[in-house]
Amino acid sequence: MDPVLLGHLGGTGTGSFSELSEILGSSISLAEYLAASAAELAVKKKVNKYAHLLDNYIFVPFAVETFGPWSHDAKVLVSQIGQILISITGDRRCTTYLRQRLSIAIQRGNAMSVLGTLPESSPLDELFLL
């Protein structure tokens, strides 16, 4: 039995994951729908895609979901880089600053992706003059 998905699916108000899957035209499982699972799924796909490089290179997939969850590998990599920064600078807040900077860069990239899909329009120009 599928778990109930609350929300609006085809006007019914509730639905199951299989109904959502049919609406989206793909097969998604409960694990793929849960928080942070999309990032972990992306990691698996990237590791499979670049498996031929693993003999000669260090490959760390860095996956972040749209609403914020980071993959385990991304968290570990940022923590390791943060520890190196702490040892160099002595500032214990380096890892926090690094996470914040990366989050802002991701948000800016997402915003540019969205803005790139909009047609050019002069009425929107006045919004950016503030």
**What does the pLDDT average to over 70-90?**
94
Position with higher pLDDT, 118 vs 80: 80
DSSP 25: T
pLDDT of amino acid 42: 86
- Residue 90 confidence (pLDDT): 96
DSSP SS3 for 51: helix
pLDDT of residue 68: 75
Would you say residue 80 has pLDDT above 80?
A: yes
pLDDT tens for each residue of 31-77: 555 656 778 888 899 899 999 988 898 888 888 887 778 888 999 99
Q: Supply the mean pLDDT for the chain.
A: 76
124 pLDDT more than 80: no
At residue 122, does pLDDT exceed 80? no
| Residue 110: both structure tokens together | 């997402």
- For residue 123, what pLDDT is reported? 64
Helix/strand/coil (H, E, C) string of 37-95?
Answer: HHHHHHHHHHHHHCHHHCCCCCCCCCCECCCCCECHHHHHHHHHHHHHHHHHHCCCCHH
- pLDDT for the residue 11: 43
**How would residue 85 be classed by pLDDT, with cut points 50, 70 and 90?**
very high
Taking each helix axis as running N to C, give the angle between helix 37-49 and helix 72-89, from 0 to 180 degrees, rounded to the nearest 10: 90
